[in-house]
Amino acid sequence: MIENIEYNTEREFLIIPEYGRHVQKMINHATSRETKEERNKLAKAIISVMGNMQPHLRDVSDFQHKLWDQLFIMSDFKLDADSPYEKPSKELLEARPSPLKYPQNFPKYRYYGNNIKTMIDVAITWDDGEMKEALMYTIANHMKKCFLNWNKDTVTDIVIFNQLFELSDGKIDLRNSDEKLQDSALLLKDRKKFTAKKPFKKNNKPRKRY
């Protein structure tokens, strides 16, 4: 009896371990059958067993379609049986997704973030008027706040206006404006208010001993 003991390290690799080794053996047996009629009969029986093992999926749409796809995947796409759905493709399953590009619109001023660039692009598309002017100054004030968070303690408005002109490719020009941005002292005051540490309260209650 000891000679017939099987170890998991010596057994066949389970493609979908959730169904267990017995289902995998059933699929391997169905794949090895010679007649297609017998393979179809065994495939439907296996689908019934797989459905009983996952009752929580009965309310999911296309439940049977998913089971048939898993059946062919577990057979390593070798099972030649008729399916009520389109058979999955091994090439499509093993296809790797294309790498996502890291958003880096303006690496020169990274402390502004990508949202500022999006706001600038939206502002450029707006028609001239009070709404566009208000949006441009809102962007400039937010840029000043970002600048103070990551750079020096003070910055002049002309620096912000020059960088806004550069980021907008010259389409937003506030360099000759008489409008003042929010004062740096107020922005720094707000920053210190949110970054201030809470005072530590010492607990003088006696510790319970059990």
Tens of pLDDT, residues 172-181: 999 888 888 8
**pLDDT confidence tier of residue 99, bands split at 50, 70 and 90:** confident
Token representation of residue 15: 């493609």
60 occurs within a structural domain: yes
Q: How many Å separate Cα 18 from the centre of its chain?
A: 25
Do 111 and 54 lie in a common domain? Answer: no
pTM of the predicted model as reported, rounded to 2 decimal places: 0.49
Whether the per-residue pLDDT at 53 is higher than 90: the answer is no
123 occurs within a structural domain: yes
Give the chain's mean pLDDT: 82
Sign of CA dihedral 61, 62, 67, 69: negative
Do 117 and 188 lie in a common domain? Answer: yes
**pLDDT confidence tier of residue 38, bands split at 50, 70 and 90:** very high
Do 126 and 149 lie in a common domain? Answer: yes
Whether the per-residue pLDDT at 194 is higher than 80: the answer is no
Which range marks the domain in which residue 155 is found? 107-195
Highest mean predicted confidence (pLDDT) among 5-14, 73-82, 101-110: 73-82
Residue for token pair 């058979």: 87
Whether the per-residue pLDDT at 89 is higher than 50: the answer is yes
3-state SS, residue 186: helix
Residue predicted with more confidence, 118 or 61: 118
The CA distance from 99 to 158, in Å, is 40
The percentage of residues in the chain with a pLDDT greater than 70, rounded to a whole number, is 82
Do 124 and 149 lie in a common domain? Answer: yes
202 occurs within a structural domain: no
Do 88 and 113 lie in a common domain? Answer: no
* Residues composing the chain: 210
Token representation of residue 36: 């297609």
Domain boundary among 68, 94, 120: 94
Do 112 and 190 lie in a common domain? Answer: yes
Domain boundary among 71, 94, 117: 94
206 occurs within a structural domain: no
Residue predicted with more confidence, 21 or 208: 21
How many domains in the chain?
2
Do 73 and 51 lie in a common domain? Answer: yes
Domain boundary among 39, 68, 94: 94
Q: Measured between alpha carbons, how far is residue 169 from residues 37, 73, 159, 162, 198 in Å?
A: 70, 53, 16, 11, 44
Residues 6+ away with beta carbon under 8 Å from 104: none
Q: How many Å separate Cα 78 from the centre of its chain?
A: 34
45 occurs within a structural domain: yes
3-state SS, residue 138: helix
Name the least confident of 3-17, 70-84, 191-205.
Answer: 191-205
Among 193, 192, 187, 195, which Cα is nearest to 144's? 187
1 occurs within a structural domain: no
4 occurs within a structural domain: no
Highest mean predicted confidence (pLDDT) among 22-31, 89-98, 144-153: 22-31
**Predicted pLDDT of residue 96:** 87
